[in-house]
Structure 1
Amino acid sequence: MTRPRQPTLRLLSLNVNGLQDKDKRRWLFNLLERDKWDVILLQETHHRSPEEGAAWAQEGPNGLRCNWSGPAFWCHYTSQSRGVAILFRATAKTSNLTVRHSSATGRTLSVDFTFSGLPYTVVCVYAPSVAADRPHYYTQELLSSLPGDRHLLVGGNFNCIAGQQDMLDPDSPPGQRTLGYWTGLRHVETDHSLYDVWRDLNSDRRAFTHIATSGQSAARLDRWLISERLRARVSKEPQAIGNVLGYPGDHLGVSLSLTAPAATLYGAAVWRLPLHLLDDQPFCDRIAEAVPAYLGAHPLGPDLTRGRRWEDLKRQVKDIALQRSWALAAQQRASQKVLEADSRAAMAAYSRSPSAETLLAWQDAHQLLQALNAEAAKGAALHAGVVWQFYGEQSTFWFHHLARDRQSRTELKALRAAHARAASAI
């Protein structure tokens, strides 16, 4: 039955610590495509011009296809510092995208858009790491750039904390980390009725997104601040709000998921057999056994017409294909889940008992996860290279034609043989 579903908007904020390295860009964009984020905020991109940022989005693995096919907005500085970007997935349920503000300092970028009929502004923030510069940035640059008549989604690296609870060393004072919050960022939160989503849902927990260069402390510098009016729209799904592991950069990513309040009716989606399963021998063997067995167990008769049996058989094939696809996906994710669990366990151990030993254990676990994701990006680039080698540069229409031609040549021989026998018997 068709049931109501609520449109969702999945957002990610990530400090990438420079994207001048081509392999690092390939790694990043592969993960963004894999995890299907709708809106992505990037800080410390280190791009020198809007043209360079746009070229990064278009270059693709080995120059074979686009890294990012959706709208991308870039605010530049130099190849060594700053730079922010906001990316929208091509299939995201957003519209009316317009750049509202792009700072000359390479620290702030905001884009207006519409989601579920309401006006939003998403803002990417990379605050100064020098404590003395933060109050001026927040009160003079960020505060003046925010609209007062739209729903605000402000994410990024704020480079300051509200107090002791946002640090993971309970014996050390916040010190420099709070400088710029009470004299700068707090004014922004108050004037625009913004609240810290993660802290609101985790009032008693400690967490961190960045480890100090010295390796002696860690703090929650990255977060999402959103309008109070959006409180009811924050998704209740697990992992909707929290840290994101395994991405390139020296900070953890932070996620946010919003759900539109009005349900939208969606019909049953069109399903097609994944053609890659035709190269999977276990799947082919199972289909070769299942089709004759099904036809033998369901002979034609007054209560079962050819059309009805054909529809039922297609459902059987679909179920088998879905089961095999899920099994293959589970195999591919197994190693990643193990490393993610190790990384989260090590992070929790450091949270409970901050020390040099637990900090190094978490760094080692997280680096293993990053290495696995980097290898996956290489595999995706290799696949793109194979596709290019066989098909070259072609139009979109040509690829649709290729798919239709391939489907027309796909036969379930056991089914055809059974129909032939039934026809000859009539």
Structure 2
Amino acid sequence: MDNTVKVISLNVNGLNVPEKRRQIVNVMRKGKGDIILLQETHFRNIPQPMHKLGTFSQWYYSNNPEQKTKGVAIAIRKNLNFQLENTLSDPSGRYLLIKGQLYHTPCTIGCVYFPNKNQIPFLNKLKEKITDFANGLCIIGGDLNFPVDPQNDTSKGSSVLPYSKLKIASKSLQSLRLIDTWRFHNPTTKQYTHYSNTQNSYARIDYVFISQHHLHWLKEASIDNILWSDHAAVQIKLNIPNKTPSTWQWRLNESLLEDLDCRKEIIDTIKDYKQNTQTDG
């Protein structure tokens, strides 16, 4: 029985160009994600073009209405049993939190895009929002725009943020009881999600966190290659205990009734069945 739910998080660096939208559609379909977290969508107007993607029936956005920058989105695959209860959106398009029932399990899903400056004050404000809003299983993914552990998460082993601020960030994540899923599964590996031309270095600044209480549901965590976006996608798989496979139900192909030979065969079969049951009686 497959009770897994796959989450994919990616900074797409803008989706207003049709070619970029085709590329992310391929990522979503080939990756077979159930929950998609997108950062830097750069959408401003409503409705957004991603609603045309039928594979994902639920779309939630947080946009920057002033200009085509920032923006995050959460997409839910149409066959995923998620019942929305509430949303919390940043007016400038930096974060989006939704909560509801995932296979009858209380669940909060968040997508975040941190600024490239003043990340720690932003995290502290976000921590308050998550604390007040979140319920049950918590899945938070996105682009933090800084490495939580520079020694292990950058090619240079350093960060522009001083150690004192990184320590505050670490304590904030600990207070939320959020666990870095990729690092949990890869305690000593070095792999990066972004290359910075200005700093001439690689760093792991894209994360998917889950609540510590549900860490035993984590099955896999991986980082893809950096391809058409300047970021790599982060993927995780969760085992959801309440998820059951969809039941198959037989249904008559009604087009067969239009076939005269098929109809005759069905009628003859019914007549034979009636005669046999009468004889047996």
Q: How does the TM-score come out when normalised to structure 1? A: 0.55
Q: Is the 8 A contact 1:159 1:177 kept in 2?
A: no
Who is 1:283 aligned against?
none
Indicate yes or no: 2:233 matched with 1:253.
yes
Aligned counterpart for 1:154 among listed residues 129, 135, 140: 140
Q: Is the 8 A contact 1:58 1:68 kept in 2?
A: no
Q: Distance in 1 between matches of 2:246 and 2:57?
A: 23
Q: Is the 8 A contact 1:6 1:261 kept in 2?
A: no
**Which structure carries more strand by proportion?**
2
Q: Distance in 1 between matches of 2:36 and 2:91?
A: 21
Q: Is the 8 A contact 2:6 2:33 kept in 1?
A: yes
Who is 2:187 aligned against?
203
Aligned counterpart for 1:106 among listed residues 78, 93, 102: 93
**Alpha-carbon offset, residue 67 of structure 1:** 5.4
**Which structure carries more helix by proportion?**
1
Who is 2:110 aligned against?
123
- Partner amino acid for 1:151? L
Who is 2:278 aligned against?
none
Kindly report which structure 2 residues correspond to 1:314-353, keeping only aligned pairs within 5 A, or say none: none
**Alpha-carbon offset, residue 22 of structure 1:** 1.3
Indicate yes or no: 2:129 matched with 1:144.
yes
Q: Is the 8 A contact 1:247 1:253 kept in 2?
A: no
- DSSP-derived class of the 1:48 partner: coil
- DSSP-derived class of the 2:161 partner: helix
Kindly report which structure 2 residues correspond to 1:145-184, keeping only aligned pairs within 5 A, or say none: 145-146=130-131, 147=133, 149-163=135-149, 164-170=151-157, 173-176=158-161, 180-183=165-168
Who is 1:38 aligned against?
34
- Partner amino acid for 1:162? V
Q: Distance in 1 between matches of 2:54 and 2:105?
A: 29
Indicate yes or no: 2:222 matched with 1:242.
yes
**Alpha-carbon offset, residue 178 of structure 1:** 6.3
Aligned counterpart for 2:51 among listed residues 58, 69, 76: 58
Aligned counterpart for 2:207 among listed residues 223, 227, 240: 223
**Alpha-carbon offset, residue 79 of structure 1:** 4.4
Q: Distance in 2 between matches of 1:148 and 1:264?
A: 25
% identical aligned pairs: 25
Q: Distance in 2 between matches of 1:177 and 1:224?
A: 23
Q: Distance in 1 between matches of 2:23 and 2:32?
A: 15
Task: Give per-residue Cα distances to partners, 1:70-125, cap 9 Å, x unaligned.
Answer: 1100100154320000000101132x213421011211101112123210101101
Q: How does the TM-score come out when normalised to structure 2? A: 0.80
- Partner amino acid for 2:207? R
Who is 1:310 aligned against?
none
Kindly report which structure 2 residues correspond to 1:287-366, keeping only aligned pairs within 5 A, or say none: none
Who is 2:71 aligned against?
83
Q: Is the 8 A contact 2:12 2:39 kept in 1?
A: yes
Please, which runs of 5 or more residues in structure 1 have no aligned partner?
60-65, 273-399, 417-426
Q: Distance in 1 between matches of 2:14 and 2:164?
A: 25
Q: Is the 8 A contact 1:101 1:145 kept in 2?
A: no
Q: Is the 8 A contact 1:119 1:150 kept in 2?
A: yes
Kindly report the root-mean-square deviation, in angstroms, between the aligned alpha carbons of the 2 structures: 3.0
Please, which runs of 5 or more residues in structure 2 have no aligned partner?
266-281
**Alpha-carbon offset, residue 38 of structure 1:** 0.8
Mark the CA change 1:220 to 1:271 in structure 2 (over 3 Å): closer, same or farther.
farther
**Alpha-carbon offset, residue 157 of structure 1:** 0.4
**Alpha-carbon offset, residue 198 of structure 1:** 1.0
Q: Distance in 1 between matches of 2:256 and 2:127?
A: 54
- Partner amino acid for 2:50? A
Q: Is the 8 A contact 1:29 1:67 kept in 2?
A: no
Who is 1:349 aligned against?
none
Q: Is the 8 A contact 1:10 1:257 kept in 2?
A: yes
Task: Give per-residue Cα distances to partners, 1:244-263, cap 9 Å, x unaligned.
Answer: 34664210000011102368
Mark the CA change 1:46 to 1:266 in structure 2 (over 3 Å): closer, same or farther.
closer
Matched residues, number: 258
Q: Distance in 1 between matches of 2:119 and 2:138?
A: 21
Aligned counterpart for 1:188 among listed residues 156, 172, 177: 172
Mark the CA change 1:223 to 1:86 in structure 2 (over 3 Å): closer, same or farther.
same
Who is 1:333 aligned against?
none
- Partner amino acid for 2:229? G
**Alpha-carbon offset, residue 189 of structure 1:** 1.4
- Partner amino acid for 2:239? T
- DSSP-derived class of the 1:189 partner: helix
- Partner amino acid for 2:154? M
Q: Is the 8 A contact 2:8 2:234 kept in 1?
A: yes
Q: Distance in 1 between matches of 2:58 and 2:245?
A: 27
Q: Is the 8 A contact 1:97 1:111 kept in 2?
A: yes
